[in-house]
Structure 1
Amino acid sequence: MKALIVFGALLLSTPLYAAQLVLELGASTRTWQTEELLKHPDAQTVEIAEDVSYKKPMSYRAVPMTSLLTGIQPDDHLQAVALDGFAAEMPAAPLLNKSGARAWLAIEDPAKPWPSLGEGKSSAGPFYLVWTDPQAGRISPEQWPYAVANIKRLSAVAERFPALLPAPNLAKDDPINKGFELFQKNCLACHRLNGAGDAQFGPDLNIPFNPTEYFSGDFLKRYIRAPQGLRHWPQGKMPGFSAAVLPDSDLDLLVGYLKHMAGRKQPLAP
């Protein structure tokens, strides 16, 4: 019995480093443990003035993403998958910045856990992608995935999910195609459309109905700006997109893409 008590005391006094992050960046796969990342030679303390998830200033032990994305090029495409099914589609270029808006992987130290994200919720750990000076790159809230479990290099969204594509006869610089780019950046992490996408978080935005079909007037834009202002419930998780992140002109393009896709519905696979 004495031996069991001593063993239990040792367990309680020793930090647990159970979490792991899997990086699938092409030819190789690398699994990082929490302890390894906290001891990474490039790890440092970063101060986040306006944390997207905690809605207040936060301080983290973090590693610059440039130190982890070995072999990744600016024109590559990455996907960060969270434990809850959130799947952020991210062009690699912003993640490789060494100035301006800069991406960091924040690591939760089990000996110093982060606060809960709300009543009955866990923290943003064990791994959280945060940004310093995000305004310099107009970084979207969807580019701050938390509870990240996996980051992988994939082909572009348009190649993987043709059901998301606007009509092929549109010019490359058509406003609808620009709206499609904004949809990928701001919506695809949580939502599918025509059943296409990897997210398992929010509802499909075209099947059975597109939001442009049931939001009248400017209510869809108001909803995107402040979801809880139109539909308030404790489980609501959709963030609001401020004009600093999604200017009015971009919001018009995004809604234009959704309206266009209402006429391009495709049956879901059985």
Structure 2
Amino acid sequence: MKALIVFGALLLSTPLYAAQLVLELGADTRTWQTEELLKRPDAQTVQIADDVSYKKPMSYRAVPLTALLTGVQAEDHLQAVALDGFAAEMPAAPLLNKSGARAWLAIEDPAKPWPSLGEGKHSAGPFYLVWTDPQAGHISPEQWPYAVATIKRLSAVAERFPALLPAPSLTKDDPINKGFELFQKNCLACHRLNGAGDAQFGPDLNIPFNPTEYFSGDFLKRYIRDPQALRRWPQGKMPGFSAAVLPDSELDLLVGYLKHMAGRKQPLAP
């Protein structure tokens, strides 16, 4: 009996799980275990005033993300891939900031698990990219990926997925191209378009139909602002984009890009 009590105590004192983060930043691949990251000398407690995923103030044990991005340059492009298929496309420059809007890799301690994200859902762990002072860098909700499994250095989105490109006749500063930049920042983490993209989360936004083809009037903009206000169902996961995150002028540019791409459908590979 005594042996069973001791064994039970050992089970209770053992971490429930440990996770690993894979960094593919060039020629080498580095894998970090939860315990290694928590023991790093630069790990510290950060306070997040308005957490995007938990919708409340949160405190995390975290490491400055720039400290893990060995060899990454400001002009590089990174992709954070989550366990559920969410694939956040991010220019490296903001992630390397050491002041202003600053990126942190929050690490879930198995002995002190984070709360769940809702009924029947997991927590934001094991790794979560969070930001201090996000307003200083105009950081989008899509730049807060949680349940991160891998961070990769890749070529730019336009090089990897030419099917996303607007008409080549447009100038670089054309509003449609500015809308394409906003699409990459705010939409590509969850959605594909013309079958192009790495996300496995949301529907394609051009095939078979573009949302500008079935949302009349301003309903598409209203849907982007508050999806649950137009389509409410328990499995709905799309976040709303407030005017603070996506100002009306940028929302117009984004919808302009989508409308343009409705005329540039490409057949999906069989």
Q: CA deviation at 1:188?
A: 0.2
Asked if 2 retains the 8 angstrom alpha-carbon contact of 1:191 and 1:205, the reply is yes
Q: CA deviation at 1:187?
A: 0.1
Q: CA deviation at 1:15?
A: 2.1
User: Equivalent pairs: percent with the same residue?
Assistant: 93
- Rounded to whole Å, the distance in 1 between the matches of 2:54 and 2:17 is 23
Runs of 4 or more, structure 1, over 3 Å off, are 1-9
- Rounded to whole Å, the distance in 2 between the matches of 1:165 and 1:73 is 25
- Rounded to whole Å, the distance in 1 between the matches of 2:184 and 2:32 is 28
Secondary structure at 1:139's aligned position in 2?
coil
Alignment deviations for residues 225-254 of structure 1 (CA, whole Å, 9 cap, x no partner) = 111111111111111111111111100000
Number of aligned residue pairs = 270
Asked if 2 retains the 8 angstrom alpha-carbon contact of 1:49 and 1:56, the reply is yes
Secondary structure at 2:26's aligned position in 1?
coil
- Rounded to whole Å, the distance in 1 between the matches of 2:249 and 2:217 is 17
- Rounded to whole Å, the distance in 2 between the matches of 1:166 and 1:15 is 50
2:198 aligns to what?
Answer: 198
Secondary structure at 1:52's aligned position in 2?
coil
2:58 aligns to what?
Answer: 58
Gaps of at least 5 residues in structure 1 are none
Question: Structure 1 residues 123, 240: closer, same or farther in 2, change over 3 A?
Answer: same
Give me the CA root mean square deviation: 1.2
- Rounded to whole Å, the distance in 1 between the matches of 2:25 and 2:98 is 20
Q: CA deviation at 1:14?
A: 2.2
Secondary structure at 1:172's aligned position in 2?
coil
Asked if 2 retains the 8 angstrom alpha-carbon contact of 1:207 and 1:265, the reply is yes
Q: CA deviation at 1:55?
A: 0.3
- Rounded to whole Å, the distance in 2 between the matches of 1:18 and 1:58 is 21
Alignment deviations for residues 115-141 of structure 1 (CA, whole Å, 9 cap, x no partner) = 010000010000000000101111000
Secondary structure at 1:120's aligned position in 2?
coil
Gaps of at least 5 residues in structure 2 are none
Q: Which moved more, 1:184-193 or 1:14-23?
A: 14-23
Asked if 1 retains the 8 angstrom alpha-carbon contact of 2:18 and 2:110, the reply is no
Secondary structure at 2:124's aligned position in 1?
coil
1:119 aligns to what?
Answer: 119
- Rounded to whole Å, the distance in 2 between the matches of 1:209 and 1:17 is 42
- Rounded to whole Å, the distance in 2 between the matches of 1:223 and 1:147 is 26
Alignment deviations for residues 5-31 of structure 1 (CA, whole Å, 9 cap, x no partner) = 644532321224520000000011110
TM-score by length of 2: 0.97
Q: CA deviation at 1:4?
A: 6.4
Asked if 2 retains the 8 angstrom alpha-carbon contact of 1:17 and 1:35, the reply is no
Q: CA deviation at 1:181?
A: 0.3
Secondary structure at 2:12's aligned position in 1?
helix
Asked if 2 retains the 8 angstrom alpha-carbon contact of 1:17 and 1:33, the reply is no
- Rounded to whole Å, the distance in 1 between the matches of 2:20 and 2:210 is 38
Q: Which moved more, 1:226-235 or 1:203-212?
A: 226-235
Secondary structure at 2:189's aligned position in 1?
coil
Secondary structure at 2:163's aligned position in 1?
helix
Asked if 2 retains the 8 angstrom alpha-carbon contact of 1:19 and 1:33, the reply is yes
Alignment deviations for residues 84-114 of structure 1 (CA, whole Å, 9 cap, x no partner) = 0000000000000011100000001111110
2:40 aligns to what?
Answer: 40
- Rounded to whole Å, the distance in 2 between the matches of 1:69 and 1:22 is 11
- Rounded to whole Å, the distance in 2 between the matches of 1:123 and 1:16 is 13
Alignment deviations for residues 58-85 of structure 1 (CA, whole Å, 9 cap, x no partner) = 0000000111101100000000000000
TM-score by length of 1: 0.97
Alignment deviations for residues 145-204 of structure 1 (CA, whole Å, 9 cap, x no partner) = 000000000000000000000001100110000000000000000000000000000000
Asked if 2 retains the 8 angstrom alpha-carbon contact of 1:17 and 1:34, the reply is no
Q: CA deviation at 1:41?
A: 0.9
- Rounded to whole Å, the distance in 2 between the matches of 1:67 and 1:165 is 33
1:104 aligns to what?
Answer: 104
- Rounded to whole Å, the distance in 2 between the matches of 1:65 and 1:73 is 13
